[in-house]
Amino acid sequence: MPQYIPSPRDWVREQVELYESSGGTRGTTLRDTGLPVVLVTHIGNKTGAIRKTPLMRVKDGNNYVLVGSQGGAPTDPVWVHNLRANPQIELRDETVVKPMRVREVEHEAERKRLWDLAVAAYPPYAEYQERTTRQIPIFVAEPRD
Ligand code: F42
């Protein structure tokens, strides 16, 4: 069983702890916005350790859209590299936990459709894209068994 390494950021680590310890009944929204958050459990591409990352909840039917915005920072968040290397994840949406597989969205038309869904769910994503010259990466998480 790989070791779990919590996020070095206090507010992120604390949200993960509250979300999980409450069984998905508390800590499930982004601070003052009240908008829903999911928890993505994945594997570090260098350490092989378990990592847990809260992200905004963007749904597309039974799938979820994961947006590597990191507030419009100049570089991709590290979890993006982890998902590229290890696409098997577990996704917690409040009380429901599912094994899922992610793929990065490359095709322009699909990307536009999913980006519009993401901005509808969390409008600041649009500002984050304007803040950076990198194209914000998007993944689709699909159910697996
Ligand atoms: N971030 C987003 O990008 N999009 C969102 O929609 C989003 C929503 C959100 C909601 C609530 C909340 O609490 C946080 C939210 N965040 C969102 C922030 C998100 O949870 C991440 O904290 C943020 O995206 C930064 O991701 P990161 O993977 O860069 O995390 C940093 C802080 C981190 O944990 N760094 C570790 C460290 O030790 O510095 C490295 C972790 C790691 O995965 N290491 C790899 C390994 O092998 O273990 C090696 C990595 C390598 O390739 O070097």
Q: Are the beta carbons of 122 and 35 closer than 8 angstroms?
A: yes
Residue 8 CB–ligand 1 contact under 6 Å = yes
Residue 54 CB–ligand 1 contact under 6 Å = yes
pLDDT number for residue 32: 82
- Cα(56)–Cα(10) distance, integer angstroms: 18
AA letter at 119: V
103-144 pLDDT, tens digit each:
999 999 999 999 999 999 999 999 999 999 999 999 999 999
Sequential DSSP letters for 15-34: HHHHHHHTTSSSS-B-GGG-
Sequential DSSP letters for 81-94: HHHHH--EEEEEET
Pocket test for ligand 1, best of 12, 14, 65, 83 (most atoms within 8 A of CB): 12
| Bridge partners, residue 139, by sequence | 66, 104
Residue 58 CB–ligand 1 contact under 6 Å = no
Token digits of residue 25: 């009944």
Fold of 10-143: Pnp Oxidase; Chain A (2.30.110)
Residue 55 CB–ligand 1 contact under 6 Å = yes
61-106 pLDDT, tens digit each:
999 999 999 999 999 999 999 999 999 999 999 999 999 999 999 9
Domain residue extents for the chain: 10-143
